[in-house]
Structure 1
Amino acid sequence: MRRAAPVLLLLLAALPAAAQDRPVFTPTRDVAVTYRVTAGQGAGHSLRMAWLVAERKLRVDAEGAPGWSVIDQRAQRMLVVMEQQRAVLEVPANTGPGGLSLPTEPPAGARFTKGAAATVAGLRCTTWHYEDGDKKGETCLTADGVMLRSSGGQGSRSGAVEATTVAYGPQDPARFRPPAGFRSMQVPPGLGFPGAPPAPR
């Protein structure tokens, strides 16, 4: 996932967290969203994201990537499914310097302010501006937690995405599980995961 996926993960990881007035930043019902990457790595490519709310899982399919990934919030890990190699790479959260910080765990120290309402992909959303150290940006979220637009990040890791289609409806749990017969691989502790965003500080 070396094109659009790292940028999207970074944008999600930068979403605001604890505050007295904060948005819902994960969907509260099953939904599938197609995004266009408008800046950063993978600009011009598309991303497909689907949430299986009951199992707290997010699937990411990036155009041009050799496979797909599933972020499992409950198990605190990401599974990278490499179809050509018929392998599944398991990446636990916070595997050390350069390791994975799950986008479902935004930085607790982020400061943010509520902005104006907007319409993206035919849906209303509220813009939230955030700042976390030298990471800045904004995201537009629906009332039920669907990200429709997001931009920002840090230096060369900055990027932007915008939803083009949003489809609510039950997701097939089988699409969020590794294919049968694929060999399992694990990232050794402390080695991190190439292309993953650094853990928020």
Structure 2
Amino acid sequence: MPRRAAGRPGMMAGALLLVGIGAGVGAGIARADAQPAPDSAHAPTHPPLAPTRDVQVAYSVQPEGAPAPKTIQVWFAANGGLMRIDSPEGMGATILDRVARQVTIVLNRQKVYTRLDAGSDIRNPFLLDLSMQYTRKGDTRVADVDCTEWAIVSGRGSATACVTADGVILREDGVDAEGMKGRLVATRVTYAPIPAGTFQPPEGYQMVTRHRVAPGPGGTGSG
């Protein structure tokens, strides 16, 4: 039986929104709850909730109805506590720091960045949580990396996802928790230490001020 786990706006929703808005202005970003210790006497009842190693992943992302997929680059470090998402064509980046509960938006054309206080509800499209039902389906390979296929059911529909043993989502196909339909697949996976500067705005960029991050995906901010 699948295990019901706790309300993640879907990983795919966040990724597709990043593609849609180009610069990745923090929309659709899902909370990753702490992962309970596995019971070694039984097979896992859900995939790992966050990458446990430093890794860079190139993803091909295509919402339903889009004429062609687009490529985004994602870096994970600090057990999923730090993440950077570069939008298509290098327009900008979104940097998430879960420990500091802070989102940094970088716009390359304008050479500016802003830091947003995410309050208590920082969200992340590439980390899982226990808000859905998971059913293990089997093992396969994506981008030359082994992963386990999981059937995922939420209140909005169903999807399949392939997740590595160290918590990297390599593929997701179907409807996510936000009701968004599409496909996301890793095309290149590189395990290597990631320099701390990857999670900082480029040198010489000017900081600008924005409003507080809205609590929900796609929010416009308040205050």
TM-score by length of 1: 0.75
Q: Give the conservation status (yes or no) of the 8 Å contact 2:31–2:123.
A: no
Which of 173, 195, 203 is residue 172 of structure 1 equivalent to?
Answer: 195
- Alpha-carbon separation, structure 2, partners of 1:147 and 1:55: 12
1:111 corresponds to 2:133 = yes
How far apart are residue 92 of structure 1 and its match? 3.3
Map 1:48-63 onto structure 2 (within 5 A). Answer: 48-53=73-78, 56-63=81-88
Q: Give the conservation status (yes or no) of the 8 Å contact 2:143–2:189.
A: yes
Moved more, 102-111 or 48-57: 102-111
Q: Give the conservation status (yes or no) of the 8 Å contact 2:50–2:79.
A: no
How far apart are residue 116 of structure 1 and its match? 1.6
- Change in CA separation of 1:186 and 1:69 when aligned onto 2, cut-off 3 Å: same
Q: Which residue number in structure 1 is paired with residue 15 of structure 2? A: none
Q: Which runs of 5+ in 2 are unaligned?
A: 1-17, 39-44
Amino acid in structure 2 at the alignment position of 1:117: D
1:25 corresponds to 2:58 = no
How far apart are residue 138 of structure 1 and its match? 2.0
Aligned residues: 190
Query: Taking every aligned residue pair, what percent have the same amino acid on both sides?
Result: 25
1:84 corresponds to 2:101 = no
- Change in CA separation of 1:185 and 1:105 when aligned onto 2, cut-off 3 Å: farther
Q: Which residue number in structure 2 is paired with residue 140 of structure 1? A: 162
Which of 154, 161, 165 is residue 184 of structure 2 equivalent to?
Answer: 161
1:184 corresponds to 2:201 = no
- Alpha-carbon separation, structure 2, partners of 1:131 and 1:109: 9
Aligned alpha-carbon RMSD (Å):
3.5
Any idea what SS the aligned residue of 1:74 has?
coil
TM-score by length of 2: 0.69
Deviations 1:52-79 (A, max 9, x none): 2268211111213521111111112221
Higher relative contact order structure (alpha carbons within 8 Å, sequence separation ≥ 6):
1
Q: Which runs of 5+ in 1 are unaligned?
A: none
- Change in CA separation of 1:94 and 1:138 when aligned onto 2, cut-off 3 Å: farther
Amino acid in structure 1 at the alignment position of 2:30: A
